[in-house]
Amino acid sequence: MKVLVTGGAGFIGSHVNILLLNQGHSVTAIDNLSKGHKEIVDPRVNFHQISLEDQKLEDILQGHDAVIHMASFIEVGESVKKPVEFAQNNIVGTVKLLKTMKNAGVKKMIFSSSACVYGKPASLPITEDCPLGEQENPYGITKIAMEQFCKLYHNLFDFDVTILRYFNPYGPGELHEPETHAIPNFVKSTLAKTSLPLFWKGEQVRDFIYIDDLAKAHVLALNSAGLHIYNVGTEIGAKVIDVVKKIFRIVGYEVPIDDKGERKGDVPSLVASAAKIKKELGWSAKVSLEEGLRKTIDFYRSRPSSI
């Protein structure tokens, strides 16, 4: 297939690019580089530095079979400070992309969503049938709205849409500025031998999904027709404090913990049921948390400038 990846210079997008290419697909990536990093884009990719609003996108899309849409602002704290910017970039950007896809005759969308749409879940593990929860930040609201527009284009224009609700991705190549995700912050603090920031004393439970496993879900979804929603997680919950202890054990020393107290908007536990994606796409997580942490630590050790 000929696949266009939005946000193709980002953490997840760069890994999806490589997997697509290695499986024989032709890949075009777009990214405005406001958050992405051109140096992590595989040289085999046909890369364009443009935004979703650029009129050139319709010409670029011609002849493609599918779009994997990952271009969005993701920093939860920033979304509280800049709700208009998040709505404009995430929601309006997605609507413009869908319209451009329709104009170009490209009617297959794999959309990067998030487990945050469930809010505080009523029960665990979380299935795709769980109701969408009350949101406590604009980022979560944008993900729900983006999902709804994707569904709308399925209903109105017969788009094939697969929505992937990620749990907690991590792994090599995460270079966000600022970095808001737990594992890269833990690893970088530990390697730099500085105090490690920790909320809720690390008692939250999360389902951490390694980046290579997550990327595979996108490629498998290319073969789907109709409308599908899948959780992408390991089905294994880990206390955040236990992740910190694993990192300490792997590197062979500990650093002080900076107790950040409570943080508004955090839910106590998020653990996926991945039964649906296993049954329908044959996907399952393969990389253990221990193995994934070792690979992530090796990545940051190899890039001291990113610590």
What token pair was written down for 161?
A: 């849409």
CB atoms within 10 A of CB 288: 12
Domains and CATH numbers, the chain: 2-170+208-233 (3.40.50.720)
pLDDT range class, residue 306, cuts 50, 70, 90: low
Please indicate, yes or no, whether the overall pTM of this predicted structure exceeds 0.85. Answer: yes
Instruction: Taking each helix axis as running N to C, give the angle between helix 93-104 and helix 138-157, from 0 to 180 degrees, rounded to the nearest 10.
Output: 20
Beta-bridge partner residues of 68: 5, 110
Give pLDDT tens digits for 129-164. 999 988 878 999 999 999 999 999 999 999 999 999
pLDDT at 97 (0 to 100): 98
CB atoms within 10 A of CB 123: 7
139 is a catalytic site residue: yes
pLDDT range class, residue 74, cuts 50, 70, 90: confident
Q: How far apart are CA 254 and CA 182, in angstroms?
A: 17
Q: What is the DSSP letter of 192?
A: H
Q: How far apart are CA 118 and CA 138, in angstroms?
A: 14
Give pLDDT tens digits for 161-212. 999 999 999 999 887 676 678 899 999 999 999 999 999 999 999 999 999 9
Average pLDDT over all residues of the chain: 93
- Name which of 220, 193, 253, 149 is nearest 3 in CA terms: 220
**Scanning the structure block, which residue is given the tokens 């980002």?**
10
Of residues 176 and 60, more confidently modeled: 60
Using CB atoms within 10 Å of the CB of residue 260, give its burial: 0 to 12 exposed, 13 to 18 middle, 19+ buried.
exposed
What token pair was written down for 275?
A: 């039964």
Instruction: Compute φ and ψ for 262, nearest 5 degrees.
Output: -90, 160
Give pLDDT tens digits for 15-40. 999 999 999 999 999 999 988 889 99
pLDDT range class, residue 264, cuts 50, 70, 90: confident
Residue in 118, 139, 170, 210 annotated catalytic:
139
